[in-house]
Structure 1
Amino acid sequence: MTDFFDGIPAICHEGPESDNEFAFRHYNPDEMVMGRRMEDHLRFAAAWWHSFAWPGGDPFGGQTLDRPWFGDTMDHARIKADAAFEMFAILGVPFFCFHDADIRPEGRSFAESLRNFEEIVDYIGRKMETQRTRLLWGTANLFSHRRFMAGAATNPDPDVFAWSAATVKACMDATHRLGGQNYVLWGGREGYETLLNTDLGRERRQAGRFLQMVVDHKHRIGFQGTILIEPKPQEPSKHQYDYDVATVYGFLKDFGLEHEVKVNIEQGHAILAGHSFEHEIALAASLGIFGSIDMNRNDYQSGWDTDQFPDSVPEMARAYYEILRAGGFATGGTNFDAKIRRQSLDPADLILAHVGAMDVCARALKAAAALFRDGALERARAERYAGWETPAAKAMLDTGTLESISASVLSRGIDPQPRSGRQERLENLWNRFA
């Protein structure tokens, strides 16, 4: 136990009229939404790295946060784990996520780092025996250390590839041992800065082979969870090989992995790729690769990935609407890949950031569910494409040729007239709910 969160009560639902800042106004885990508990819809997870490993730096300045677990010993790692599970209990989050480097100190060799990692994984496992919080997913940090400055799987040095493969094996084994429901690969530096020194085709093949090895290992150890790739377009690399959902899907198809791997979509990364969050979710669902989400937001006046906690109900409602349309989460969930601001120094700031974000997501889910139950938006969508449900239209797609279609146009004297897309009407409809 630590005294870091002393004086902060367990957060309970008190309803929208409550003026208690240490209470949920909208997130009620047991509230039924479309026949399912709210907790089971949202599947919240806290991120070990931003909540407990981030020192408060930004591209222009260093550490601002002072935490009792900051240090490079196993004692520090155990204190960090104690504080993490205390926060999980205060918030009542059902899940957490971690990188290997978040939970263990770096050793002087791979073997020492592995011993440190396995020891703290055992420590976390013992804590999980007495608490309800489970592991949503684990992953490996293959981007922070200088050895990864030219990538991990895509590195020109085969020794770095080997180090990375051994690290992922250890993290997958640990995720399996802790009962994790997914394993995520974030290619933080799987990209390039300049084509002047890059063999793009070679690096892409290396990344594909690496992912095939990951999938093979999943089956070898009997891991029943989902393998996820997290798309990101840039930062830190100028161009990432996992740019967005569409790029990842093409990559998976190229290496025969489209039925083995899904995507973990981050709101901030979607924006950096020039998309909306809901676009990426809808596209992934349509391609059959939707898995999980990292919930955060960017500062739209800044040019980098600021990883702020979400604060816009309408924006998040559009994302959850697409998740509901996709049937909801299976093994995935809502991971708060978000950090407090570097001026937010107090333990209470960390708790209240999660409280506010969980309430925003709950309000967004309820708004999305209300519109989905109403059915007006889906009816309007179906009406727009109704012509494609006729036998003639279906036959045109199934067996038509340019010659047969051209003959039909001439014989029927087709002269199609534009029809309104009714965008403003649908936006007004949306705003009635969100």
Structure 2
Amino acid sequence: MTDFFAGIDRVEYKGPDSDDPLAFRFYDAKREIMGKTMEDHLRFAVAYWHSFAWPGGDPFGGQTFERPWFHGDPMEAAKLKADVAFEMFSILNAPFFTFHDRDIAPEGDTLQESNDNVSAIADIFERKIEETGTRLLWGTANMFTNRRFMAGASTNPDPEVFAWCAAQVKHCMDVTHRLKGANYVLWGGREGYETLLNTDMGRELDQMGRFLSMVVDYKHKIGFEGAILIEPKPQEPSKHQYDYDVATVFGFLQRFGLEKEVKVNIETGHSVLAGHTFEHEIETANALGIFGSLDANRNDYQSGWDTDQFPNNVPETAVAMYYILKGGGFTTGGFNFDSKLRRQSLDPVDLIAGHIGGMDVIARGLIAAAAMIEDGGWADFVKQRYAGWDKPENQAMLADGADLETIAARVHSEGLDPQPVSGQQERLENWINRFV
């Protein structure tokens, strides 16, 4: 045991009336809702990078956090960081965690040295997973921090960078497979471009598609049973990202015949940067059959960048949860807290408090969404709004063989004169507020 979280007990559920700041008020892991426990519905994961690797910087200021593993021999520091991380997972009773390879171990002078460092920490993880029961939701390779990736990873104009990325991803997939990860994620932090003046977009998209195809092939070769996920992001740091949003990713997957092989990991903050709501991206993924996993956070709506704050908006979360439940919920995915403390939140207890708050907010969203589904009023309204399409003569307009001439003839022969019907948005908004 380390002394980083000294004096902080395991977080327990104490109910809505509790005034204990380090207790769950709504997240009751074993409470059953719609036939599943909260734990199984939500599948919470702690993100290694923001909680343990991030130093507290922002675009205009450097490190504000002082962590004991930020100093000393890099591998010894990485081992200490692993000890602290699993202590925090146990305090929160978190069922999962996530990592980038560069979060968990220092980069070496060669790729082999870097891989050896990651493997050494994976040995520790393997033992701690067995001891604690906290599992790996997903792993991913960091191919955006090092200066070699400044022009992209798989989309880089330098083929040697492409080759490096292939070797790095192979090793990270091997580690994720060894640790029985439920998914493997590709986040193309620099898979985009800053200016078209020096960019061959067609070539870069082909490279990215071929790379992803090889990732899928390798998944099957090693027998990895988890899902391959792409995390959409519209910008920052690249001006134009090739994985802008869920719909863009789906078009890319279709082009390379991967729409049955790859799903998406959707982040709240990235949805906002793309000009969407979180629920829009969730329902788009549901409609296209590529819903995989979620990163739980929020943006400051007054800031134009990805602030990664812990979620705290119950009404927004409830609507997102409604669409998650409506789509069938998670299979291999879950809620990963891609959330970080504010630069002034310096104490270890702040890490615990941030996760407690986020878990409670999402649990409240789950409770509200389940109640909305049980009531059925929202679904009934939407069903009634489209009820006309259930009539055989209207279904025929969408069937194979339907044509404009036949439809036009029907309009004239029946004297159709459609009149607008109220969408009742305000009444629906009021209805939702009854549950949150």
* TM-score range relative to shorter protein: over 0.9
Tell me the equivalent position of 2:49: 49
Tell me the equivalent position of 2:299: 298
**Unmatched 5+ residue regions in structure 2?**
none
The yes-or-no answer on 1:362 pairing with 2:363 is yes
Structure 1 runs (4+) deviating above 4 angstroms are none
Give the whole-Å Cα distance in 1 for the aligned partners of 2:387 and 2:130.
Answer: 54
Which of 387, 401, 404 is 1:402 aligned to? 404
Tell me the equivalent position of 2:332: 331
The yes-or-no answer on 1:116 pairing with 2:117 is yes
Tell me the equivalent position of 1:75: 76
1:12-411 matches, within 5 Å, as 12-71=12-71, 73-398=74-399, 399-411=401-413
Give the whole-Å Cα distance in 2 for the aligned partners of 1:396 and 1:300.
Answer: 43
Give the whole-Å Cα distance in 2 for the aligned partners of 1:423 and 1:65.
Answer: 45
| SS of corresponding position for 1:129 | helix
Give the whole-Å Cα distance in 1 for the aligned partners of 2:372 and 2:331.
Answer: 22
Q: CA deviation at 1:123?
A: 1.1
Which of 405, 408, 417 is 1:415 aligned to? 417
CA RMSD of aligned residues (A): 0.6
Q: CA deviation at 1:371?
A: 0.3
Give the whole-Å Cα distance in 1 for the aligned partners of 2:92 and 2:156.
Answer: 40
Q: CA deviation at 1:126?
A: 1.0
| SS of corresponding position for 1:69 | helix
| SS of corresponding position for 2:398 | helix
Paired amino acid for 2:419: Q
Q: Deviations over 1:362-410 (max 9, x none)?
A: 0011001100111010000000000000000111110321010011111
Q: CA deviation at 1:424?
A: 1.0
Q: CA deviation at 1:129?
A: 1.3
Q: CA deviation at 1:303?
A: 1.1
Q: Deviations over 1:60-114 (max 9, x none)?
A: 0110000011146111010000000000000001000000000001101111111
Paired amino acid for 1:317: A
The yes-or-no answer on 1:424 pairing with 2:418 is no
Give the whole-Å Cα distance in 2 for the aligned partners of 1:26 and 1:185.
Answer: 32
Q: CA deviation at 1:124?
A: 0.9
Paired amino acid for 1:410: H
Q: CA deviation at 1:35?
A: 1.0
How many residues get paired?
A: 434
| SS of corresponding position for 2:346 | coil
| SS of corresponding position for 1:400 | coil
Give the whole-Å Cα distance in 1 for the aligned partners of 2:419 and 2:302.
Answer: 42
| SS of corresponding position for 1:12 | coil
Paired amino acid for 1:37: T
Q: Deviations over 1:114-167 (max 9, x none)?
A: 111111111111111101100000000000110100000000000111111111
Give the whole-Å Cα distance in 2 for the aligned partners of 1:403 and 1:301.
Answer: 51
Give the whole-Å Cα distance in 2 for the aligned partners of 1:241 and 1:147.
Answer: 19
Paired amino acid for 1:263: V
Give the whole-Å Cα distance in 2 for the aligned partners of 1:406 and 1:5.
Answer: 72
Paired amino acid for 1:400: A
| SS of corresponding position for 2:64 | coil
**Unmatched 5+ residue regions in structure 1?**
none
Give the whole-Å Cα distance in 2 for the aligned partners of 1:230 and 1:273.
Answer: 13
Paired amino acid for 1:102: D
Tell me the TM-score normalised to structure 1 length: 0.99
Paired amino acid for 2:203: R
Give the whole-Å Cα distance in 1 for the aligned partners of 2:377 and 2:58.
Answer: 45
Q: CA deviation at 1:21?
A: 0.7
| SS of corresponding position for 1:160 | helix
